[in-house]
Structure 1
Amino acid sequence: MEYGETNERDLTKAVAALSAGLPIVFPTDTVYGLGVAVGMAQSPEILYDIKQRDHGKPVAWLVGNPEALSLYGKVVPDLALAIARTFWPGPLTLVVKAGTNVPVPFRAPNGTIALRMPDNGLALNLIERVGFPLATTSANISGQMPPRMFEDIDPALLERVSVALRDDAEKSGVASTVIDCTSGHPVMVREGGISIADIQALG
């Protein structure tokens, strides 16, 4: 199968697949992702199966706007909201306590959810059209490098999805910064595309 630059027909197919609870491959600002629509898929299990990854490892959600932090999070600190409004869209993942509208299969074992708004027009378009966040992990077999280019995606993985989208936007290849916002004081879990100094400047 050949994959060219994404057009409207491809987008329509991708939205239809996501709406049916099926996984797709699509670009983000950091790497290519593998994801399902949260409101349509019953769980993220298919993502684990495709990646050959340990089940139960949390899968982050890609969301369409900073307001999603309050929509899907519970007791979200004001500083976390300020961080989201400052650095979203971008390579920043915020971990918050999951609200009641977060399906249990998509929550981490400790009852949290990780949210990020990607700085990629195609990904945001999908989220808007589907109307739900996309539970997303990098589009690589476990142990392989996350793909910055479409050509880097393992053919065996592509064979497991019905739709794969591509664009020509450069991917940073740098993992997102992860901040735990489950308490009153955000804690840096992983430094990535946004530095500790950038976050501290908001304090």
Structure 2
Amino acid sequence: MAMETRVLPADDPQALEEAVQLLLAGQVIAHPTDTVYGVAADSGNADAIRRLYEVKERPLDKAIPVLLGDIADMLKVADYVSPAAWKLAEAFWPGGLTLVVPVRPCMPAILTAGQRTIAVRLPDHETPRELARRLGRPIAATSANLSGQPSPATAEEVLAQLQGRVSLVLDGGPAREGIASTIVDVSTPTPRILREGPISAAEIAEVLGIEIA
């Protein structure tokens, strides 16, 4: 799997365009986010997603979330977006909320580990959003570490684990490390909190106007 790993500044438009071309070619790249550094592939390319699993040495039964370019991108991956999902997205995106929604049948099964749902988020960071916008669809993205190892907060920490495994690292300086996102399952009529993070159950309940478990 060894390859040359290049490092380019994340705020350079030419570097972003090169990153998108690599994604379109089925390559895996690393990038900053609003929490830690992420590693990304084209969400519509099953071979690229398999490569993403290999890069991270991630078990194939662990689904990979997607990061969106804008709120409307949900419709590119979700089979159905409930009124509750739209309310939560409009209230808390971009930011630390991940929504679990029914997945469109056309999405690669390897992305969702064969599940009928997919986890989606609009990050509060321009780099992954711009990658998704230029790609024309969400990016499959997870933390830029080997499975079970610490999540990296800098490009240097990415290289320490993934040098020779990814084609490109977009260096955006130290990541704005934060708490892992709140995850809400809105794939069924009754929303459920799967993980509480920066957005509390009380805030979720207030937006939806219902009690939530």
For 2:141 and 2:92, the matched residues in 1 are separated by 19
For 1:131 and 1:172, the matched residues in 2 are separated by 27
Contact residue 73 and residue 96 of structure 1 kept, 8 A: yes
Where in structure 1 are there 5+ consecutive unaligned residues? none
Pick the aligned partner of 1:135 from 119, 136, 140: 140
Alignment of 1:66-85 (within 5 A): 66-85=71-90
Identity %: 37
Deviations 1:122-176 (A, max 9, x none): 1111111111211011001111111122232252413211111011364223211
Alignment of 1:10-159 (within 5 A): 10-42=15-47, 44-159=49-164
Where in structure 2 are there 5+ consecutive unaligned residues? none
Alignment of 1:163-182 (within 5 A): 163-168=168-173, 170-182=175-187
For 1:40 and 1:4, the matched residues in 2 are separated by 24
- Quote the offset at 1:100 in angstroms: 2.8
- Structure 1 length as normaliser, TM-score? 0.91
Residue 12 of structure 1 aligns with an amino acid whose one-letter code is E
- Alpha carbons of structure 1 residues 29 and 56: separation in structure 2 relative to 1, 3 Å: same
Contact residue 18 and residue 40 of structure 1 kept, 8 A: no
- Quote the offset at 1:67 in angstroms: 1.8
Residue 13 of structure 2 aligns with an amino acid whose one-letter code is E
For 1:2 and 1:37, the matched residues in 2 are separated by 19
Contact residue 27 and residue 167 of structure 1 kept, 8 A: yes
Aligned residues: 203
> Which one is further off, 168-177 or 106-115?
168-177
- Structure 2 length as normaliser, TM-score? 0.87
